[in-house]
């Protein structure tokens, strides 16, 4: 292959450090690329190849954000003060804050407002080295609204590669009296439409205390699997209710958060080949226990 891009790097970081989790470092190296691949050092360089002088800088693999919520409107900055006064996540949500505050703002926002805000967040991620982002919906909580968010996510892509995830089962919609009917609408209508229209590659469910039960999560995830979507779970953020075991049983791609997970849950994740995606920033902000990273 012929290199069409040559990067002269000050410090090149590789993923081959000779030990588990170790990084390799090459001082003053060169990176050759062609046809979308990194080429061996003896590759021929095209006469008119693009050259980038990265001396004095670090050249590193792009980062992948495996759990992101980039499309929403409004903000919840005032909730930091509420937490500082001792209110819990559940108490803030019960008072109409948390996810529901963002849902109200997102439902009211025009498409161009959501697109502009989402693209801005993606550009910020790109500046910090993120090249691929798993992006969730989850702030409309009705069929048409969630599909709208997925369509806008597809339109917003560009600054980074987006892997879209349907999170219609993020929370039970506020003022909803028929919980079972909503779960069924997610499983029987939202999921098939997102899959058929190519709007999502994965389906996620917030299976936790104060969110959706194991049975509700199973209904949605089995519908997603039947529709050809990959599976993810918000699991064990606030309590260990068996979501990790469900993720392992269903062979989910990931179980995310896991601040509360038992040894049995960890074993189930391992058996099922499930990636444990940890969010220590969320644990810090919400005052939760640290996820058991070493055990996982």
Asked if 32 and 6 count as a contact pair (C-beta separation under 8 A), the reply is yes
Q: How many CB atoms lie within 10 A of CB 157?
A: 16
Distance CA 111, CA 42 (A): 49
Q: How many CB atoms lie within 10 A of CB 249?
A: 15
CA angle in degrees (0–180, nearest 5) for 64-118-76: 100
Residue from 60, 62, 63, 21 nearest 293 by CA: 21
pLDDT in tens, the chain (296 residues): 899 999 998 899 988 877 776 788 889 889 999 998 999 989 999 999 999 999 999 998 899 999 999 999 988 777 677 677 776 767 766 666 677 788 899 999 999 999 999 999 999 999 999 999 999 999 999 999 999 999 999 999 788 999 999 999 999 887 777 899 999 999 999 999 999 999 999 999 999 998 999 999 999 999 999 999 999 999 999 999 999 999 999 999 999 999 999 999 999 999 999 999 999 999 998 889 999 999 99
Whole-structure pTM value: 0.88
């Amino acid at each position: 292959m012929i290199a069409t891009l040559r990067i002269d790097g000050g410090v090149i970081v590789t993923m081959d450090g000779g030990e588990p989790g170790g990084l390799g470092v090459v001082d003053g190296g060169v990176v050759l690329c062609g046809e979308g691949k990194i080429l061996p050092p003896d590759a021929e360089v095209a006469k008119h190849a693009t050259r980038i002088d990265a001396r004095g800088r670090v050249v590193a693999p792009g980062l992948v954000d495996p759990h992101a919520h980039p499309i929403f409107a409004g903000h919840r900055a005032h909730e930091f003060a509420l937490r500082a006064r001792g209110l819990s996540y559940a108490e803030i949500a019960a008072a109409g804050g948390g996810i529901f505050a963002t849902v109200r703002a997102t439902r009211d926002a025009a498409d161009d407002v959501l697109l502009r805000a989402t693209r801005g967040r993606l550009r910020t991620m790109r500046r910090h080295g993120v090249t691929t982002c798993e992006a969730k919906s989850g702030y409309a909580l009705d069929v048409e609204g969630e599909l709208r968010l997925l369509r806008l996510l597809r339109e917003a892509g560009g600054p980074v590669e987006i892997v879209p995830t349907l999170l219609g089962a993020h929370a039970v919609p506020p003022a909803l009296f028929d919980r079972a009917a909503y779960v069924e609408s997610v499983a029987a209508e939202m999921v098939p439409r997102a899959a058929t229209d190519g709007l999502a590659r994965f389906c996620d469910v917030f299976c936790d205390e104060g969110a959706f039960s194991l049975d509700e999560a199973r209904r949605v995830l089995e519908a997603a699997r039947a529709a050809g979507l990959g599976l993810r779970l918000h699991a064990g953020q606030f309590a260990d209710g068996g979501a990790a075991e469900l993720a392992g049983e269903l062979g989910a791609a990931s179980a995310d958060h896991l601040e509360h997970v038992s040894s049995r849950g960890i074993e189930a994740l391992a058996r099922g080949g499930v990636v444990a995606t940890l969010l220590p920033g969320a644990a810090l902000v919400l005052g939760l226990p640290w996820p058991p990273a070493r055990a996982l």
